[in-house]
Amino acid sequence: MLVPYSWLKNYVKIDLSIEEFTKRMVMSGTAVEGYEDCGKEVSNVVVGKLLEIVDHPNSDHLHICQVDVGAGSPTQIVTGADNMKVGDLVPVALHNSYLPGGVHIEKGKLRGEVSNGMMCSGEELGVPSDVYPSNTDHGLLILQGDLTPGQDIKPVLGLDDVIIDFDILANRPDCLSVLGLAHEASVAAGNPVTEPSYEYKTCGGDVNELVSVRVEDNDLCKRYCAAVVKNIKIEPSPLWMRQFLHKAGVRPINNIVDITNFVMLEMGQPMHAFDLNSVRGRQIIVRRAHEGEEMQTLDSKDRKLTPNMLVIADAEGATGLAGIMGGEDSEITDNTDLVLFESACFDGPNIRQSGRYLGMRTEAQGRFERGVNVRLCKQALQRALALIDELHAGEVVDGIIDIYPGEEELPVVESDIDYVHTLMGIDVPAEKMCEILDSLGIETKVEGNKLISKAPIWRQDIRMGADIAEEVLRIYGYDYIPSKLMQGETMTGRDSAANIRDKLLRKVLCGMGAYETVTYSFITPKWYDALLLPEGDPLRKSAKLLNPLGEDYSYMRTTLIPSMLNTLSTNMNRGNAAAAFYEISKVFLPKELPMTELPEERPALCIGLYGEEYDFYFIKGMVEETLKKMGISDLTFKRAAVPYLHPGRSAEVYAGDTYIGLFGEVHPDVADNFRFRGRGYVAELNIKVMDELTAGVCDVQDMPKYPSVQRDFAFVMTEETPVGDVMKLMEKIGGKLTEEVKLFDIYRGVPILPGQKSVAISIILRNREHTLTEEEISAVTDRIISEVSEKFDAKLRS
């Protein structure tokens, strides 16, 4: 927040250099980003009075002026300006003077005539026309007021001031005002605060006869105050007000608008002024917007409102967005003669949501979002009326409308002194704590071992003992906290079981050529449609975000599959011929909708492949190898029946009877929905189940001393025959001699008949006590041929 140093000094006597003052403010807890000396680049510029103006003999546009600059005798200056006359007061840059931007002025000659300096425009001095209306785009700055020739120009134009940039934290909305900062400055300077005047004269009448006010939604409007001023005189504000507003970053407009902005900066209370003659029915209604309601704001833009937005309405419709911006229909104009001033406390979260929805951002909106002090609404309105009276801008009608149904007493905080000492880390005497708190406006007394503190009207953040401890410590000084060595036990750090597991999974999958991906945990609901999930499918039971980034990120995902399909599609469409990815993340599974508790966050693994080198058996092998490395054995596979996988090229994987996940080729229709340019393959495994199935330390065996024997079989069987069942039977027949059974080929084509397939399976046998004999081997192989042929109606391929 930008605050002129001179404005603070209106309320607190500060006899400190700017360096010392800002240092004390920082040490007491009010951050200062920096400060700027308004006139640091201006020197040797004074007020001059024009005594004589004659045309330059050698120029058709230059003038020779004799100027009184307080030096005893007139000073001759040549100028090209033509907006001055004899008797005018103007800024004069004398010989060896400096202007903003490092401009150096020295005496010289113009067309043969001596010029002992330069008369200045407002632009050359950095003074905008908003502050000094007599300042034109081209020409000299004509000064107003009772000024003395030779007088330093800095105090005349307010350039002898310093602008301080305070960084106000979210928990101190009271410091978003000059008066709030003045209370902090009073502690730093050691002097009390002098409040501004709230007194004003009225002209009689009754405000209730001129306007009626009704608040329909008290949950969004805690307090609403209104007053009426008649016989308004629209004119520029006085110079001191224009200067203060300009230095604080607000553009002066006219006396009425400037008063509302001045009070907002001074007291932190946003205000608004309505042209009461433009308020239809002379009614002010604070309500939620109606469905489909529209209005035009002061920036001449049409706004479509929603029922969640709070508006200020008249008898016929919305005339202002509460806490954000007024309507163009009730704007203050040069013809306004009857004004209603509004001072209210609107709900901050509602203001924020409305502004964000409409894409609007205003100074008033920001203050309501941080929290406006409901107790100061009426006082701020009285201050505005006092300024109206002081500036003779109109006549105040008797009475103030004040709708405040939930009025609360100032909070009183009881703090245990020992508890406060514990929070601070140091023991500060109770009397000293009372002195500090009283200096901050927090009336405090000691009763036994307790501090009884009453928060001042301008503070909303004093609610508990921790707040009292903070206030005492920041003024007493953090330097008094004694230094202590950290205490604790040194212990060896180690990864959690989940981190160890994830590292193993990454090692295994990267070793198989896959790259890890990380995607958002929230997805678009359109992806569920793209997966061809039917209505009522458990995967559609998703948690919806209350404040999403957009529709594409509005639901917490219940499966990793759509995110992986989107990743595969992106790589396909960007020209990558083949790719293999995996993602280790969480899925979010609500127990019920609407949710009454947080969803289950279940860890999951997803694998995705595409390219000529990949097929169904490749991703099946990746799944098997991953589970094997996790110590999970006794795997079986069953045909999967999910809409997003190919019905004939997909499978579910089990360990015994426990379901782990599924894998397979992406269904062609789903592939089209995700804009695939070929076949893709995905797998999704439940890591939580994998953790439960992990065997831990496997059996340790000696290295085999005797050789193994491998025998290969090629069986012709029907397409429907599950190969996994055949492999399990072969493993069972081999018994303790079986070391490994694996599928290494499936063939379809001539001479295999349609509807059949040739399956090539190898079995490795080993006896750990002796070398296998031909009789032992033949006993196993003959039995395999016999039982597979009998149970699966298969034939050994010759």
CATH number for the domain that contains residue 51:
2.40.50.140
Amino acid at site 68: D
State the residue range of the domain holding 448. Answer: 412-479
Amino acid at site 216: E
Torsion of CA 643, 645, 647, 648, to 10 degrees: 180
Write down which residue in 658, 693, 728 finishes a domain.
693
Residues 153 and 167 reside in one and the same domain:
no
Q: How far is CA 160 from the centre of its chain?
A: 38
Computed over its alpha carbons, how large is the radius of gyration of the chain? 42
Q: How far is CA 526 from the centre of its chain?
A: 26
Written as six digits, the tokens of 93 are: 């840059």
Residue 718 lies inside a defined structural domain of this protein: yes
Residues 374 and 225 reside in one and the same domain:
yes
pLDDT of residue 581: 97
Q: What is the CATH number of the domain that holds 34?
A: 3.30.56.10
Contact 305, 311 (CB under 8 A): yes
Q: What is the CATH number of the domain that holds 565?
A: 3.30.930.10
- 470 φ, ψ to 5°? -65, -45
Q: What is the CATH number of the domain that holds 727?
A: 3.30.70.380
Low-confidence ranges of the chain (pLDDT < 50): none
Instruction: Of 737, 708, 723, give the one whose Cα is nearest residue 637.
Output: 723
pLDDT of residue 135: 59
Written as six digits, the tokens of 667 are: 């269904």
Residue 561 lies inside a defined structural domain of this protein: yes
pTM of this prediction? Answer: 0.64
**For residue 694, with 0-12 CB atoms within 10 Å meaning exposed, 13-18 middle and 19 or more buried, which class applies?**
middle
Residues 620 and 667 reside in one and the same domain:
yes
Residues 47 and 167 reside in one and the same domain:
no
pLDDT of residue 493: 80
Residues 669 and 729 reside in one and the same domain:
no
- Tens of pLDDT, residue by residue over 497-533, are 999 999 999 999 999 999 999 999 999 999 999 999 9
**For residue 451, with 0-12 CB atoms within 10 Å meaning exposed, 13-18 middle and 19 or more buried, which class applies?**
buried
Residues 607 and 515 reside in one and the same domain:
yes
Partners of residue 313 on adjacent β-strands: 285, 318
Residues 428 and 383 reside in one and the same domain:
no
Residue 766 lies inside a defined structural domain of this protein: yes
Residues 185 and 211 reside in one and the same domain:
no
Residue 687 lies inside a defined structural domain of this protein: yes
Residues 626 and 766 reside in one and the same domain:
no
Contact 339, 394 (CB under 8 A): yes
Residue 295 lies inside a defined structural domain of this protein: yes
Residue 787's alpha-carbon distances to 554, 733, 783, 796, in angstroms, are 56, 9, 6, 11
Residues 501 and 469 reside in one and the same domain:
no
pLDDT of residue 694: 84
**For residue 323, with 0-12 CB atoms within 10 Å meaning exposed, 13-18 middle and 19 or more buried, which class applies?**
buried
List helix spans (H) across 221-376.
Answer: 239-247, 255-267, 348-358, 363-370
Instruction: Of 740, 633, 621, 739, give the one whose Cα is nearest residue 695.
Output: 633
Give the total number of structural domains in the chain. Answer: 6
Contact 759, 714 (CB under 8 A): yes
- Tens of pLDDT, residue by residue over 334-390, are 889 999 999 999 999 999 999 999 999 999 999 999 899 999 999 999 999 999 999
Written as six digits, the tokens of 640 are: 């999967």
pLDDT of residue 409: 85
pLDDT of residue 590: 94
Cα gap 69→349, rounded to integer Å: 58
Write down which residue in 693, 719, 751 finishes a domain.
693
Residues 283 and 337 reside in one and the same domain:
yes
Residue 486 lies inside a defined structural domain of this protein: no
Residue 775 lies inside a defined structural domain of this protein: yes
Q: What is the CATH number of the domain that holds 270?
A: 3.50.40.10
Residues 458 and 506 reside in one and the same domain:
no
Cα gap 466→419, rounded to integer Å: 9
Write down which residue in 633, 658, 693 finishes a domain.
693
Apex 327 CA angle, 326 and 329, nearest 5:
140
pLDDT of residue 656: 87
Residue 663's alpha-carbon distances to 537, 649, 681, 685, in angstroms, are 19, 9, 7, 8
